[in-house]
Amino acid sequence: PPRRSRRIAGRPDATFDDLGVDVLALILGFLGPFDIMRSRVCKKICKVATTAIVPLTECKVDKIEKVHALRAMSTALANLQQLDIRSFGIGHHKYSDGEERDEEIASYYVNPTTHDIEILSSFRKLRILEIHYAPLNGRYPFLFQFPLLQKLK
């Protein structure tokens, strides 16, 4: 049987560049946050990623590499809707102390590598924020300033 050509934008000879921004945003909507970050291979995809609505999929931040990725995601995926902050495991890593920190807990960490937890405030479209045994110390008022937040666990 003759092979059927696949059409993009109604043309059999169309290329990736012929896809519109809205079509690419829909395609990215089927990927998870870390997959979208890996798929940003050209300027067009980078631009689309900043406007795409990232679906409600679990995005666990439980490794140092993912904390660094979170910094990049704060500008590249501003529409992230769900985030799960977890413990780093064994090691001398913690998030920055909040207001009115507990000195006893602070003394537990000797020369820790500190990571900025306030980077979360960049995700203004967060609907679900889960925090599981993350190394936090003090009060963090910015955690309650997400206008669309439905679930803080």
List pLDDT tens digits, range 50-60: 877 777 877 88
* Per-residue pLDDT tens digits for 82-139: 889 888 776 677 777 788 777 777 777 667 788 888 888 888 888 999 988 888 888 8
| Alpha carbon distance, N-terminus to C-terminus of the chain | 56
What is the rounded CA–CA span in Å between residue 135 and residue 14?
51
Count the neighbouring beta carbons within 10 Å of the beta carbon of residue 28: 21
Record the tokens describing residue 97, joined without a space: 């102390």
pTM for this entry: 0.73
Q: Looking at mean pLDDT, say which of 8-17, 40-49, 102-111, 121-130 comes out highest.
A: 121-130
Per-residue pLDDT at 69: 85
